[in-house]
Amino acid sequence: MTAADLVVVGSGFFGLTVAERAASELGLKVAVIDRRHHIGGNAYSETEEQTGIEVHRYGAHLFHTSNQKVWDYVNQFTTFTNYVHRVYGVHKGEVFPLPINLGTINQFFRANYSPAEARALISEQAGELAGTDPQNLNDKGIQLIGRPLYEAFIKHYTGKQWQTDPKDLPAGIISRLPVRYTYDNRYFNDTYEGLPTQGYTAWIERMADNPNITVELNTDFFDESQPLSKGNVVGNVPVIYTGPVDRYFDYAEGDLSWRTIDFEEEVLPTGDFQGTSVVNYNDPDVPFTRIIEPRHFHPERNYQTEKTVIMREFSRFAEKGDEPYYPINTEGDRAKLLAYRDLSNAEKDVLFGGRLGTYKYLDMHMAIGSALSMYENKIKPHFAKGEALVSGGVDA
């Protein structure tokens, strides 16, 4: 058995935020376990050996938030650069700024439209399906921004992301498609944006750097031969579980479906491959969705100029053994999630959190905000005031 007051399964931002608060504010002994060889979940970054460039090992991680509470919290552990994320997309051999903005529209239509003229044009093109109630993503996209822009910048990219024809995807995936009628091509609209000055791993390590926190890596919660296993701790010590919710219950209600990402990493004998951090490839004849060039996340760093590293990103359905990234959330998934919600509520002193534990798409700032709420509303009242710890956290 463990001497810990709280066991946290998973060392991503959700788990570490809960662990840090419980250890720092309440003085609890917190045991954090992770089956991977590193902390930080998918936000983990490391130095690429040949170039010395910091690589986001699980794809581009861009920190942005308008939540003051989250911003104040994360600034305890890191400062942020003034990086502003901008994305470009390749369509038929030409590069366009994204998200779709006045610059994209004027370049695409070879025009000089004013904001009002561009708005009128998109409204006219979207009128093709005006008054209808599209049930699939393809028709919804056309209704929102018109066929020309949709087919150039959304249709094939989305199809590659989901490995599914947009005609077979639900319309709800894109309840809105942002179009800006200005030349603003900032990708995010949040109040705060930047990258951790010394990198994600340095930030994450500071969160875990507390004498009350122990971190056990290469440790599987479901391996009953180790002391911090599910069988040993559930019912004896409160648990924060941030792994896949279906795995927790041994897939009793069926497998939830996820997308995963494969990366093809290459070191190239040039100082700069594409001139920016992320370029989307919108056309169907290119198998990858985008190319990330990590050197551009930190232009303030004095990286070498003889070589650069790039990562091509391929999206596909996750199979057993893959790293799950994004919940697909079909109708079938939602039905299973209802059943898992009931199972999670019936556990003893187990709270489910994070992207995997709640089967929700959460950006980093959302995961941190959600963890702070769980700490304030459930963990602190339990340990500080003796209130009952009501299990759950899975919504459907």
Residue pair 275/72 in contact (Cβ under 8 Å)? The answer is no
What is the edge-to-edge ordering of all strands in the sheet holding 213-216?
213-216, 30-33, 6-9, 239-241, 350-352
Query: Which residue type does 145 have?
Result: I
Active site includes 361?
A: yes
Torsion of CA 194, 199, 202, 205, to 10 degrees: 70
User: Which is the catalytic residue, given 83, 241, 253, 290?
Assistant: 290
User: Which is the catalytic residue, given 128, 266, 334, 361?
Assistant: 361
The alpha-carbon radius of gyration of the chain (Å, integer) is 23
Distance of CA 6 to the CA centre of its chain: 26
Both structure tokens of 342: 């009931």
Active site includes 363?
A: yes
User: Which is the catalytic residue, given 21, 57, 180, 341?
Assistant: 180
Beta bridge partners of 164: none
User: Which is the catalytic residue, given 20, 54, 253, 313?
Assistant: 313
User: Which is the catalytic residue, given 46, 283, 323, 363?
Assistant: 363
Answer positive or negative: Cα dihedral of 305, 95, 138, 184: positive
Active site includes 180?
A: yes
Q: Cis omega before residue 327 (within 30°)?
A: no
User: Which is the catalytic residue, given 21, 57, 259, 341?
Assistant: 259
Query: Which residue type does 255 have?
Result: D
**What is the set of active-site residues?**
176, 180, 259, 290, 313, 361, 363
